[in-house]
Chains A and B, each alone.
Chain A
Amino acid sequence: MAGQSSAVSSRTGNNPFLRGVAALSTLAGWCSAAMIVAAVSITCQMIFVRFVLNHSTVWQTEAVVYLAIGATLVGLPYVQRLRGHVNVDLIPLALSKTARYYMYLLTMGLSIAIVAIVLFYGYEHWHLAYERNWKSDTIWAVRLWIPYLSIPVGFGLFLLQLIADLVAVLLKIDAPFGLEDV
């Protein structure tokens, strides 16, 4: 069977690296959840200010959007740790144990590579926005490096968690694709 399982999370054994990364990812998860809660509260505040007080609401929409983006990107490592990114493992299921192991190395390698690419260019993008002091073109004029920071931070931690997952399989602490042999 493929996909998302609710109660599973990555295994760390007693390995200090794996436990450290897991702790970082969990911390990121708390931040992500906090940002979602903040977004909910700000939206409600906006409705109240507009509907009840009939005042201007110039910053709320933007703040809420950036919080939601932050929650998503910063939440990536935590969701990876919880095995929450839905996948389809038709091919691995059809493979023998050894072939599955190498398939895992291949897909994990590609995943790590792509996340590293996004991290690299995401950092550059953030740095450019910081250096040139880009702002959003609204009255609020947010310095864009602040929301853009979620790209290098989120993908950096995501990269760490993916590497930790790979290490866990290499050290035989976790099974490839989380598939146990039956």
Chain B
Amino acid sequence: MDPILLGGIVAIATIMVLFSGVSVALGLLIVSTGFLLIFDGLRSLELIPEILFGKLDNFALLSIPMFIIMGSSIASTRAGADLYEALERWLTRVPGGLVVSNLGACALFAAMSGSSPATCAAIGKMGIPEMRKRGYPDGVAAGSIAAGGTLGILIPPSVTMIVYGIATETSIGRLFLAGVLPGLLLVMLFMLWSLYSTWKSGDKALLSAGNYTWKEKFEILPRVLPFLGIIIGVLYAMYGGIATPSETAAVGALLCLLIAMVIYKLWNPKDLWVVLRDSTKESVMIMFIIAAAGVFSYMLSSLFITQAIAEWIGTLDVNRWVLMGFVMLFLLVAGFFLPPVAVILMAAPILLPIITTAGFDPIWFAVVLTINMEIGLISPPVGLNLYVINGIAPDISLKTILKGSLPFVACMVIAIILLCFFPGIATWLPDFVMGEAV
């Protein structure tokens, strides 16, 4: 059979299976096994356990559970509340200051957590009730946190960047740095929108929220120190010659656990278990998808589909930006349905050769891809951040959350467009710190 046609059949089968309610990882295994059985025979089934094991046999993957522990240990303390309160006390004069300080807190927290749901939960637990209490509309309160939470995978450390780095063999240190400025750009766009919408609402109460004395403003600063300590410690370990990026994750995890235990008195074994349980749950889920996606890409490669599609697109005579447009459309649609890790792992082997042949920078592409995935996190039908918000504030309807996060999706699209015109936003910092790219 023609590999391209076969590829189409695989795509349809994959969509059907993945939408059937089976878990993503098992769905990928089911599709892969089915096609391998039909086109490669029984002998290829013997390989599945080895491929599963082999995909996980990679030191860099270890940083995934560790960066998740970092986030969830801090998230289980009142650190998130401290962070956002500190920002709030300093930003009271700003109209919509509370939303802005929540977004800032999300960005800061993202610099400590590798995953988006953790970021969302950490800031949202305090932020959403507080915003609602002060009269912000439900949509704004929920939407801003859902969107701010997505920064978790753009601002380093980032689980998706690690997965991308492994799948495409690009430097994880470089990828992390590439996410910094686009992350800041995104926060700024988010904040600008919040300011504008608050100002436009004309609500007097929101325009001039609470008032803090200078004493109160300075009093809270020491409570932000642990954060700065962690962020600086991790950055120093990573870029200062102590550890490789994958190893640094362990330092970060240990630091966060210790700070949670010592400073925030997270001593109770039961509370510690909750941190561990949530981290284990999220890590195992992600790692199993990674392993299963390995079998899936073995199937695609074994049936020569990957190679055929890459060759076929190579022969297409289209403008590179048209090509990039289609790639992004594909990523966006895939992101609506699938968790970021699954999209990256399924798409990277096919897309990366196309991207590099068309002359795009793989580091820049990682950033664009990540922002696409962020959109997926706050869009139906599968948006991990939406469930988190739903868990924090069950009385806010999904429709309200969605409506509230829509303007932030627009901000993300603007960020992608800006990145297309000014790729340096992503590539300048890694080039500056680590020298020109390979």
Touching in the complex, A and B, CB below 8 A? yes
Return chain A residues, CB-CB under 8 Å to B243. Answer: 47, 51
Expressed in whole angstroms, the minimum distance between the Cβ of A28 and any Cβ of chain B is: 10
Decide yes or no whether A15 CB sits under 8 A from chain B. no
Which of B19, B21, B50, B57 counts the most chain A CB atoms within 10 A? B21
Return chain B residues, CB-CB under 8 Å to A103. Answer: 20-21
Decide yes or no whether B282 CB sits under 8 A from chain A. yes
A89-113 near B? 1/0 per residue, CB < 8 Å: 1111000000000011011001100
CB-nearest residue of chain A relative to B250?
A: A43
Return chain A residues, CB-CB under 8 Å to B237. Answer: 47
Q: Is the CB of A64 within 8 A of B50?
A: no
Expressed in whole angstroms, the minimum distance between the Cβ of A118 and any Cβ of chain B is: 6
CB-nearest residue of chain A relative to B283?
A: A36
In this complex, how many residues of chain B approach chain A with their Cβ under 8 Å: the count is 67
Expressed in whole angstroms, the minimum distance between the Cβ of A67 and any Cβ of chain B is: 8
Q: Is the CB of B21 within 8 A of A79?
A: no
In this complex, how many residues of chain A approach chain B with their Cβ under 8 Å: the count is 62
Return chain A residues, CB-CB under 8 Å to B283. Answer: 36, 71-72, 75
Q: Is the CB of A46 within 8 A of B19?
A: no
CB-nearest residue of chain A relative to B398?
A: A1
Decide yes or no whether A156 CB sits under 8 A from chain B. no
Q: Is the CB of A88 within 8 A of B24?
A: yes
Which of B27, B47, B58, B280 counts the most chain A CB atoms within 10 A? B280
Decide yes or no whether A148 CB sits under 8 A from chain B. yes
B346-369 near A? 1/0 per residue, CB < 8 Å: 000000000000000000000000
With A39-B65, A88-B21, A121-B46 as contacts: A69 and B56 at CB distance below 8 Å = yes
With A51-B242, A68-B61, A88-B19 as contacts: A40 and B250 at CB distance below 8 Å = yes
Return chain A residues, CB-CB under 8 Å to B273. Answer: 33
B281-304 near A? 1/0 per residue, CB < 8 Å: 111110111010000000000000
How far, in whole Å, are A46 and B22 apart by their CA atoms in the complex?
Answer: 40
Decide yes or no whether B49 CB sits under 8 A from chain A. yes
Instruction: Give the contacting residue for B26; candidates A65, A73, A85, A125; CB below 8 A.
Output: A85
Q: Is the CB of B251 within 8 A of A47?
A: yes
Expressed in whole angstroms, the minimum distance between the Cβ of A46 and any Cβ of chain B is: 7
Expressed in whole angstroms, the minimum distance between the Cβ of B33 and any Cβ of chain A is: 6
CB-nearest residue of chain A relative to B249?
A: A43
Q: Is the CB of B26 within 8 A of A121?
A: no
Return chain B residues, CB-CB under 8 Å to A85. Answer: 23-26, 285, 288
Decide yes or no whether B66 CB sits under 8 A from chain A. yes
With A76-B288, A86-B339, A114-B29 as contacts: A125 and B50 at CB distance below 8 Å = yes
With A32-B284, A87-B21 as contacts: A5 and B387 at CB distance below 8 Å = yes
Q: Is the CB of A3 within 8 A of B276?
A: no
Decide yes or no whether B188 CB sits under 8 A from chain A. no
Which of A37, A80, A92, A106 counts the most chain B CB atoms within 10 A? A37
Expressed in whole angstroms, the minimum distance between the Cβ of A17 and any Cβ of chain B is: 22
Return chain A residues, CB-CB under 8 Å to B26. Answer: 85, 110-111, 114-115
**Residues of B bordering A, CB below 8 Å:** 16, 18-27, 29-30, 33, 45-50, 52-53, 56-59, 61-62, 65-66, 69, 237, 242-243, 247, 249-251, 253-254, 273, 276-277, 279-285, 287-289, 291, 337-339, 381-384, 386-388, 390-391, 398
Beyond the given A65-B57, A177-B21, please list 8 additional residue pairs across the A-B interface where CB-CB is below 8 A: A32-B280, A43-B66, A44-B251, A72-B287, A80-B23, A82-B277, A103-B20, A103-B21
14 residue pairs bridging A and B, Cβ less than 8 Å apart: A1-B387, A1-B398, A2-B382, A41-B254, A47-B247, A68-B61, A71-B283, A72-B284, A85-B25, A86-B289, A86-B339, A111-B30, A118-B48, A121-B47
Top 3 closest A-B pairs, CB basis?
A43-B250, A85-B23, A122-B49
